[in-house]
C-alpha cells in the first residue's frame, strides 16, 4: 500500500507543477499567446513520448524482471542512447514541418525549447522507469516532491517577469532539474555499474529491444505526433490559437486528474513483470479499482468545478464545454490505462501498438471533421470519442484472447 501511495504522490508532484505553470500563464497571457505555449507543449510532449516515455515501459518491465544484472544495465544504457537520438531527430522534424510559422518567438528559441525540453523529459522518463523497476517508489516520490517545492516559486517569478519567454524557461529548467535528481538516484543504485562483453547477452538485448522497446516506441511514433498534429489542425483554423488555449488549460487539468491511472501504470508494469501475473481475476480487479478511482476524481471535479473556473478567472462557453467533455474522457482513459500496462507485461507489446493505431485514426479523423465544420470543443470531442472506441475494442479483444486460451 505504501508503494501505491508513493507512486501516486510522485505523479501528483510532477503533474501539479506543470498545471500551476499553465494556470498562471493562462491568467497572465493573451489567449493567442497562451495558444502558442499550448502548441509548443503539445509538440514537445510528442517528442518526449516517442523518444523516452514509450521506451520507459520496456525499461520498467526488464529491470523489474531481471533486477541488478548486466543484461538490465545494458538495456537501460541502450534506451538512454536511443532517447537522445530520437529527441534530436524528432525535434528537427517537428520544427521544420510543424512550427516554422510561429512569429511570436524567435526561431532559435523555438528550436532550443523543443529540443531540450523533449530531451530532458525523455531521459527523465527512463530514469523514473529504472527506479520503478527497482521498486524505489519512495525515492521517486521524494525526488519529484523536492523538484516541485524548489521550482514553484521560481516558475511564478519567471512567468510574471518574462511572460512567454518566462514560461519556456520555467518549463525547461524544471524538466532539467527533475532529470538531474532522478538520474543521480539511478546512478546511486549501482545498476549502471554492471558491464558485460558477452556477445550472447548483447543478442538477448537486441531480442528484448525488438519485442518490447520497438513496438512501444512505434506506438509513440504513431500516437504522440497525432496529438501534436491534432493541435496543429485546430490552430490553423480561424481563431484557432484562442480555441487551443481554452482546450489546453482544461487538458492540463485532465493530465493531473488522470494521475491515478497514470501513476499506477508504472506500479502495475513492475508488479505484472516481476511476478509474471497474467491471472484474469487479478487483472479484472485492478481494472475495476482503476475505474472506480477515476469515477471519484471525475465526480470531485464536477462538484468543485466553480473552483477551477475561479482559479483560471474565466467562465466562457468554450471553456465550460471543454471542461465537461474532458470529465468523461478521464473515465474512459482509466479503462484503457491498465491495458497499456498489461499488454507489454504479458509479451503482447505489438498488440498494444495495433490498439494505438485505432486510437490515432479516430482522434485525427474526429478532430479534422469537427474543426472543418467549426463544432465547439473539437479536440475534447475527439479525445472522448477516441477513448470510447478504444475502450470497446480493447475490452472485446481481451475477452476474445482469454477465451482462446481456454
In a 13 Å sphere around the CA of 104, the CA atoms on its Cβ side amount to 17
Q: Contact, 267 vs 132, CB < 8 A?
A: yes
Answer with the one of 222, 251, 285 that is the final residue of a domain: 222
Report the candidate in 115, 138, 109 with the shortest Cα–Cα distance to residue 48.
115
Residue in the block written with cell 491568467: 27
Full DSSP string of 231-284:
HHHHHTSTTHHHHHHHHHHHHHHHHHHTHHHHHHHHHHHHHHHHHT---HHHHH
Considering only residues 387 and 192, tell me which one the structure prediction assigns the higher pLDDT: 387
Residue in the block written with cell 479484472: 284
Which residue segment(s) compose the domain that 49 sits in?
A: 1-222
Q: How many domains does the chain have?
A: 2
Residues 259 and 391 in one domain: yes
Nearest 5°: the CA angle 340, 8, 193 is 80
Answer with the one of 194, 222, 250 that is the final residue of a domain: 222
Residues in the chain: 406
Label residue 340 by pLDDT band (50, 70, 90). confident
Residues 175, 190: Cα–Cα separation, whole Å: 23
pLDDT at 252 over 60: yes
Condensed to tens digits (0 to 9), the pLDDT of residues 181-209 reads: 999 999 888 888 777 666 676 676 667 66
Report the candidate in 50, 58, 53, 65 with the shortest Cα–Cα distance to residue 210.
58
Rg (CA), the chain: 20
Residues 152 and 287 in one domain: no
Residues 190, 194: Cα–Cα separation, whole Å: 7
Residues 192 and 249 in one domain: no
Q: Contact, 151 vs 170, CB < 8 A?
A: yes
Q: Is residue 231 one of the residues assigned to a domain?
A: no
pLDDT at position 327 is 95
Q: What is the pTM of this model?
A: 0.69
Condensed to tens digits (0 to 9), the pLDDT of residues 83-141 reads: 788 778 777 776 676 555 555 667 777 778 888 888 888 888 889 888 888 888 888 88
Residues 126 and 269 in one domain: no
Residues 253 and 322 in one domain: yes
Amino acid at each position: 500500500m505504501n508503494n501505491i501511495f508513493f507512486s501516486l504522490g510522485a505523479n501528483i508532484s510532477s503533474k501539479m507543477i506543470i498545471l500551476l505553470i499553465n494556470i498562471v500563464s493562462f491568467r497572465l497571457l493573451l489567449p493567442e499567446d497562451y495558444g502558442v505555449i499550448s502548441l509548443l507543449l503539445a509538440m514537445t510532449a510528442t517528442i518526449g513520448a516517442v523518444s523516452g516515455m514509450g521506451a520507459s515501459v520496456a525499461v520498467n518491465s526488464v529491470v523489474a524482471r531481471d533486477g541488478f544484472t548486466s543484461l538490465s544495465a545494458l538495456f537501460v544504457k541502450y534506451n538512454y542512447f536511443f532517447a537522445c537520438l530520437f529527441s534530436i531527430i524528432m525535434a528537427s522534424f517537428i520544427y521544420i514541418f510543424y512550427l516554422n510559422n510561429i512569429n511570436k518567438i524567435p526561431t532559435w528559441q523555438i528550436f532550443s525549447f523543443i529540443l531540450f525540453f523533449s530531451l530532458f523529459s525523455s531521459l527523465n522518463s527512463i530514469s523514473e522507469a529504472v527506479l520503478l523497476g527497482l521498486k524505489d517508489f519512495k525515492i521517486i516520490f521524494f525526488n519529484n516532491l523536492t523538484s516541485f517545492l524548489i521550482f514553484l516559486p521560481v516558475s511564478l517569478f519567471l512567468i510574471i517577469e518574462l511572460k512567454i519567454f518566462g514560461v519556456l524557461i520555467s518549463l525547461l529548467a524544471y524538466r532539467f532539474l527533475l532529470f538531474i535528481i532522478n538520474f543521480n538516484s539511478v546512478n546511486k543504485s549501482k545498476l549502471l555499474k554492471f558491464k558485460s562483453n558477452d556477445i550472447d547477452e548483447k543478442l538477448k538485448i537486441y531480442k528484448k529491444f525488438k519485442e518490447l522497446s520497438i513496438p512501444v516506441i512505434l506506438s509513440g511514433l504513431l500516437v504522440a505526433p497525432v496529438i501534436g498534429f491534432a493541435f496543429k489542425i485546430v490552430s490553423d483554423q480561424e481563431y484557432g490559437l484562442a480555441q487551443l488555449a481554452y482546450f489546453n488549460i482544461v487538458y492540463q487539468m485532465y493530465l493531473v486528474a488522470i494521475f491515478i491511472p497514470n501513476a499506477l501504470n508504472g506500479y502495475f508494469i513492475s508488479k505484472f513483470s516481476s511476478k509474471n501475473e497474467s491471472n484474469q481475476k487479478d487483472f479484472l480487479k485492478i481494472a475495476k479499482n482503476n475505474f472506480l478511482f477515476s469515477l471519484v476524481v471525475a465526480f470531485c471535479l464536477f462538484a468543485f468545478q466553480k473552483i477551477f473556473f475561479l482559479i483560471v478567472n474565466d467562465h466562457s462557453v468554450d471553456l465550460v464545454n471543454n471542461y465537461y467533455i474532458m470529465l468523461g474522457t478521464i473515465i474512459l482513459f482509466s479503462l484503457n490505462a491498465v491495458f497499456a500496462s498489461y499488454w507489454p507485461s504479458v509479451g503482447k507489446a505489438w498488440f498494444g501498438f495495433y490498439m494505438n493505431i485505432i486510437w490515432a485514426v479516430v482522434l485525427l479523423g474526429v478532430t479534422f471533421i469537427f474543426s472543418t465544420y467549426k463544432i465547439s470543443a473539437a479536440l475534447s470531442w475527439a479525445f472522448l470519442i477516441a477513448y470510447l472506441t478504444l475502450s470497446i475494442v480493447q475490452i472485446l479483444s481481451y475477452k476474445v484472447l482469454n477465451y482462446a486460451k481456454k
